[in-house]
Structure 1
Amino acid sequence: MRRDISKEHPEAQSTDTINGDVLELDAIIVGAGFGGSYMLKHLRDDLGMKAKIFEAGSDIGGIWHWNCYPGARVDSDVPVYEFSDPNVWGDWYWTERFPGYKELRAYFEHAEKKMQIRKDTIFDSKVVDAAWDGKVNKWTVRTEKGRVAKAQYLIVATGFAAKRHFPDWPGLDKFEGIMHHPSFWPAEGIDVKGKKVAVVGTGATGVQLSQELAKQIGEDGSLTVFQRTPNLAIPMQQRKLTKEEQDEWKNERQDWYTSRMTTFAGFLFDFQKTPLTFEHTPEQREEFYEKLWQKGGFNFWIATYDDMLKDKAANEEAYKFWAKKTRARIQDPRKRDILAPETAPHAFGTKRPSLEQDYYEQFNKPNVDVIDLKANPVKEVVADGIITEDGTHHKLDVLALATGFDSVTGGMKNMGLKDKNGVDLRERWANGTFTSLGLFCDGFPNMAFLYAAQAPTAFSNGVSTVECQGEYLVKLIKQLREQGVETIEPTHESVEAWRKEVTKEYESTLFPGTSSWYNGGNVPGKPREQLNYLGGMPAYHKNLHQTLPDLPGFETVKSAA
Structure 2
Amino acid sequence: MHDSRKPADEYDVVVVGGGFGGVYSLHHMRDLGFATHMYEAGTGLGGIWHWNCYPGARVDTETPVYQLYAPELYKEWQWKERYSGRDEMVKYFNHIADTWKLWKDITFQARVTRAYWDQDKSRWDLRIEHRLDAENTGTIVSTTHCKYVIFCTGFASKHYVPPFAGMDSFKGVMCHTALWSEDIELEGKRVAVIGTGASGVQVVSEVSPIAKQLTLFQRTPNMALPMGQCIRDEEWNKLSKQQYAEQVEKMKTTYCGFLYDFDPRKTFDVTEEERHALYEELFNKGGVYFWLGTFTDTLKSKKANDLAYQFWREKTIARLRKPEMIAKLAPEVAPHAFGTKRISLEQNYFEQFNRDSVSLVDLNVDPIETFTENGIKTRSGNEQFFDVIVLATGFDSVTGGLTQIDIRGTNTCIKDKWEKGVWTHLGMMSAGFPNMFFVYGPQAPTAFATGPQCAETQGRWIGETLSFMRENGIRSLEPTVEAETVWKEHVNEGAEEGLFKDTKSWYFGDNIPGKARESLNYMGGMPLYRKKCAEAQENGYRNQFVLACEKESRSDDSRRDSMHEKDISR
Q: Distance in 1 between matches of 2:201 and 2:21?
A: 26
Secondary structure of 1:465's aligned partner: helix
Answer yes or no: is the 8 Å Cα contact 2:124–2:147 preserved in 1.
yes
Cα pair 2:64 2:240 within 8 Å, conserved? no
Q: Confirm whether residue 545 of structure 1 aligns to residue 505 of structure 2.
A: no
The equivalent position to 1:466 in structure 2, one of 455, 459, 464, is 455
- Please give the secondary structure, in 2, of the residue aligned with 1:216: coil
Deviation at 1:233, TM superposition (A): 0.4
The equivalences for 1:51-66 within 5 A come to: 51-66=36-51
Q: Which position in structure 2 is the counterpart of 1:133?
A: 118
Q: Does 1:440 align with 2:429?
A: yes
Partner of 1:36: 22
Structure 1 counterpart of 2:261: 270
Report the Cα offset of residue 184 of structure 1. 1.0
Q: CA deviation digits over 1:382-406, x for unaligned, max 9? A: 0110001111111000000000000
Give the SS at the match of 2:41: coil
* Aligned 1:97-246 pairs, distance under 5 A: 97-144=82-129, 145-188=140-183, 190-217=184-211, 221-246=212-237
Q: Deviations over 1:15-53 (max 9, x none)?
A: x9x9xx8711000110011111101101112x1111111
- The answer to whether the aligner puts 1:91 opposite 2:76 as a matched pair is yes
| Match of residue 10 from structure 1 | none
Instruction: Give, as a single letter, the amino acid of the residue that structure 2 aligns with 1:193.
Output: E
Q: What's the secondary structure of 2:311's corresponding residue?
A: helix
AA of the residue aligned to 2:193: V
> Which residue in 1 is equivalent to 2:297?
307
The 8 Å contact of residues 81 and 462 in structure 1, kept in 2 or not, is answered as yes
Counterpart secondary structure, 2:536: coil
Q: Is the 8 A contact 1:22 1:150 kept in 2?
A: no
Report the Cα offset of residue 560 of structure 1: 2.1
The within-5 A match list for 1:154-553 is 154-188=149-183, 190-217=184-211, 221-274=212-265, 276-421=266-411, 423-550=412-539, 551=541, 552-553=543-544
The unaligned stretches of length 5 or more in structure 1 are 1-13
In 2, Cα distance between equivalents of 1:295 and 1:486? 51
1:461 Cα deviation from its structure 2 partner: 1.0
Q: 1:300-357, CA deviations, whole angstroms, 9 ceiling, x for partnerless residues?
A: 1111111011111011111010111111111111111111111100011110110001
Cα deviation digits, residues 283-306 of structure 1 (max 9, x gap):
111110010101111111111111
SS where residue 306 of structure 1 aligns?
A: coil
- Supply the distance in 1 between the matched residues of 2:81 and 2:381 (Cα, whole angstroms): 45
Tell me if the contact between 1:197 and 1:398 (Cα under 8 Å) persists in the aligned partners: yes
Q: Take 1:80 and 1:512, find their aligned partners in 2: how far apart are those partners?
A: 28
- Aligned mates of 2:545, 2:246 — CA distance in 1: 33
Aligned to 2:555: none
Asked if 1 retains the 8 angstrom alpha-carbon contact of 2:150 and 2:438, the reply is yes
- Alpha-carbon distance, 1:216 to partner: 2.0
Q: Partner of 1:289: helix, strand, or coil? A: helix
In structure 2, the gaps of 5 or more residues are 130-139, 553-570
TM-score under structure 1 normalisation?
A: 0.94
Indicate conservation of the 8 Å contact 2:22/2:152, yes or no: yes
Contact 1:128 1:416 in 2 (8 A): yes
Structure 1 range deviating more: 113-122 or 358-367 = 113-122
CA distance in 1, matches of 2:245, 2:48: 26
Q: Which amino acid aligns with 2:445?
A: P
Point out the more displaced range, 278-287 or 254-263.
Answer: 254-263
Counterpart secondary structure, 1:179:
strand
- State the 1:549 CA deviation: 4.1
Asked whether the 8 Å contact 2:74–2:241 carries over to 1, the reply is no
Question: 2: CA distance between counterparts of 1:249 and 1:450?
Answer: 28
Indicate yes or no: 2:53 matched with 1:68: yes
Which deviations, in whole Å up to 9, do the C-alpha atoms of 1:227-282 show, x marking residues without a partner?
010111011101101111211112221331232121111111111112x1001111
Deviation for aligned residue 1:103: 0.7
CA distance in 2 between counterparts of 1:334 and 1:398 reads: 25
AA matched with 1:426 = K
Give the aligned residue type for 2:77: W
- Counterpart CA distance in 2 for 1:506 and 1:262 is 21
What is the aligned residue count?
537
Separation in 2, partners of 1:312, 1:360: 26
Aligned-partner residue type, residue 25 of structure 1:
Y
Q: In structure 2, the residue corresponding to 1:180 is in which secondary structure? A: strand
| In 2: Cα distance, 1:363 partner to 1:129 partner | 46
Q: Secondary structure at the match of 1:546?
A: helix
| Contact residue 485 and residue 557 of structure 1 kept, 8 A | yes
Q: In 2, Cα distance between the equivalents of 1:116 and 1:405?
A: 32
Distance in structure 2 (CA, Å) of the matches to 1:132 and 1:258: 39
What is the match of residue 4 of structure 1? none
Question: What corresponds to 1:27 in structure 2?
Answer: 13
**Cα distance, 1:167 vs structure 2:** 1.3
Does structure 2 conserve the Cα–Cα contact (< 8 Å) formed by 1:60 and 1:118? no
Label 1:42 to 1:203 Cα distance change in 2 as closer, same or farther (>3 A).
same
How far the C-alpha of 1:177 sits from its partner, in A, is 0.3
Which amino acid is the alignment partner of residue 62 of structure 2? D
Kept after mapping to 1: 8 A contact 2:194/2:218: yes
Tell me if structure 2 keeps the 8 A contact 1:155–1:449: yes
Distance 2:100 2:174 in 1: 37
TM superposition outliers: structure 1 runs of 4+ over 4 Å: none
Answer yes or no: is the 8 Å Cα contact 2:308–2:338 preserved in 1: yes
User: 1:465-516: CA deviations, max 9, x gaps?
Assistant: 1111111111221122111211110000000001000110101111111000
State the alpha-carbon separation in 2 of the partners of residues 511 and 378 from structure 1. Answer: 28
Q: Tell me: CA distance 1:54–1:170, structure 2 relative to 1, closer, same or farther (3 Å).
A: same
Write the distance in 1 (CA, Å) between the matches of 2:103 and 2:167.
38
2: CA distance between counterparts of 1:123 and 1:545? Answer: 34
Following superposition, the deviation at residue 548 of structure 1 comes to: 2.4
C-alpha distance in 2, partners of 1:373/1:315? 26
Secondary structure of the corresponding residue to residue 204 of structure 2: helix
Contact 1:261–1:468, Cα closer than 8 Å, also in 2: no
Aligned-pair CA distance for 1:187: 2.8
Paired with 2:103 and 2:382, the residues of 1 have a C-alpha distance of 51
Using the size of structure 2 for normalisation, the TM-score is: 0.92
CA contact (8 A) 1:129 1:142 kept: yes
Amino acid across the alignment from 1:448: F
Residue deviations 1:110-137 (CA, integer Å, cap 9, x gap): 1111012221111111111101101010
